[in-house]
Amino acid sequence: MNQLAPSFETDRRPDGVVALHFTPTEWRAILRDPNFLREPDNEYRVPRRIFGVEVRIVPDHSFG
């Protein structure tokens, strides 16, 4: 199994808050969809959101 980055933090919080992780390339692919901003729960600027869920941009998926 790959080692996780030392700064890795789980997104499982006692309060139930979660975040979706995307690499910059994945996030740009999502933004290319012309329908993305038609949905009121989506936001491309900070705080980034998709379907109302927080989005975090990570260098790669070893960051969580």
For 43, which DSSP code? B
Q: Is the pLDDT of residue 1 over 50?
A: no
Mean pLDDT score of the chain, rounded to an integer? 83
Q: Which sequence spans correspond to the domains of the chain? A: 19-63
| Cα 38 from Cα 17, distance rounded (Å) | 25
Q: Is 18 or 31 the better-scoring residue by pLDDT? A: 31
Helices (H), 1-64: 24-31
pLDDT tens per residue, range 29-60? 999 999 998 999 999 999 999 999 999 999 98
C-alpha 59: how far from chain center: 11
